[in-house]
Structure 1
Amino acid sequence: MRKSFSAEFMAKVALEAIKEEKAIAEISSRYEVHRTQITNWRKRALEGIKEIFNGRREKASENKEKQIDELYRQIGKLKVENEWLKKNCTV
């Protein structure tokens, strides 16, 4: 029968494996989880961390795109206003 582990438990074990303060075999004995399982959790955790940072970059890029679009709209509006003022106002 397979054991089922909580996400909190898997994260705790994976984090301990990532720290590399103890050997995988030692962690395996302590938590009574097979070494291969710990290695898999460690890999998944590291991949998840990469995705977090990739997501931030993508969101920052989207925000910059929106800001650039808004600035171009403002420039266009100001150009139209400027042209109108040049035509209609004489000093």
Structure 2
Amino acid sequence: MRGHCPYIPMPRGFLYLVAVLDWYSRYVLAWRLSNTMDALFCLEALEMALGRGEPVIFNTDQGAQFTSQEWLAPLQKRDILISMDGRGQALDNVFVERLWRTVKYEDIYLRDYQTVPDLEIGLDDYFQFYNEERPHSALDHQTPAEVHWATQPETEA
């Protein structure tokens, strides 16, 4: 899993977006918006993502919200290995950077959201489309959902 926070320009200021991405399938497990760069909205996305499965390794950049004890504690409690990108290592987060580029060019810049509620609704719709309908060449033209759910262990009834 991978977490990262870019900013989204709005008519008055900007918002931060965090998303938790399954690197293998490119499936967006969880996302949240905030007008501050604190750890709370990141923790909400983390808890939602961990409710859908626990990775062996969780990777982030070295932002303050990802190096805080509040962020690290839930990962350590579950014995999840923690990996952080090296400073200046652009290729460490290539999958997430590609996601941000895709979201911005296929949705945010085209829709020019004027309000936070409109942005939240729009992103919810977009991430559903991204996961369920948008094929990826890196996934042999399958959707992230097709790859993600095909690799999940079956549960007993």
Shorter-chain TM-score category?
under 0.3
* Structure with the largest fraction of strand: 2
Task: Answer 1 or 2: which has greater helix percent.
Answer: 1
- Which structure is larger by alpha-carbon Rg, 1 or 2? 1
- TM-score computed with the length of structure 1 as normaliser: 0.25
